[in-house]
Amino acid sequence: MATGITAAAQAGTTLEIRPLKPNIGAEVYGVDLRESLEAQAIETLDHALAEHGVLVFHNQDITVEQQMAFGRRFGDLSVHPFSAHLAEHPEVIVLDYTAENPPSLTDIWHSDETFRAEPPMATMLHAEIVPELGGDTLFANMAAAYEGLSAHMKGFINGLEAVHDFKPFRTLFTQSEAHRKKLHELEDQYPHVTHPVVRIHPVSGAKVLFVNPQFTIHIKGMKADESRALLDVLFRQASIPEYQLRLEWRRHTVALWDNRLVQHYAVHDYYPQRRRMERVTIQGDRPVGPERETVAIEADGAAKPPQPEGGPWAIDRQVP
């Protein structure tokens, strides 16, 4: 795990990464996001993001322009097709929830925008206003979730593909003619996409469970009841505490997370208190999965699973 001083951040400062949990999350110190970071610091953060999944920066009183500038060090920013954004900066999503505008849609495990053919590689959230109590965000390491499956299950799902859709956002549209027309336009722009059930992380090479209950609708090549049963098993992996980080937001905390590795869940326990976040997402590429594995058959007709790969996140949860 990355600990201690790791790189020069800015003139006269050093960057330090402190892991938060054994499987996920790290706090970053020695960085002022109002200023430009050295190239070496960005490289260190990029690798730390792939290792820890979530990087937390406290006490970062930044403007949206500074947030965008930091995000662009990792790649081009994307524009969300549904969420409210700043008129002058369409890349910035504003999540401002109050008694009159209660939170919605995000209290479910998901990786951001997997309804896209090329989902964002990372998301950055800046806490502008936080409730006195509640409003945490849960994160789950989905490489750990994959490693926690049995060898039989891992062998079965490698090479499978699942269909993703922007289904939760459909509730934003009424039956009015204007809304129906807009929905049809978005369906043309964002048709169902297919992603591997298990994707290969492009930096670490880890196998990552890449299905989520917000956007994944079924597994290709399966009957509806078979698909639901398998997805239910895979969705539950995110809820295992050993794979999780619970982030308690403070004002001006910035979190940067890797959508290729983690899923998250925004806890809606703070209503009617106010919670305002500003978000940018960094463009990603098309997920790539492993080849479909063949399963050998023993003489007695039983399937012989592939040998387990283990890995740093493996947890033996087989029932005796």
d(CA 242, CA 132): 27
In the set 110, 126, 201, 218, the catalytic residue is 110
- State yes or no: is 264 an active-site residue: yes
**C-alpha triplet 143, 146, 152: angle, nearest 5°:** 155
Q: In the annotation, is 279 catalytic?
A: yes
* Residue tagged active-site, from 80, 218, 274, 279: 279
Closest alpha carbon to 304 in 197, 104, 155:
155
Residues 112, 126, 218, 274: which is the catalytic one? 112
The residue written with tokens 């994307």 in the block is 78
Active-site residue, from 218, 264, 274, 275: 264
- Catalytic site positions: 110, 112, 264, 279
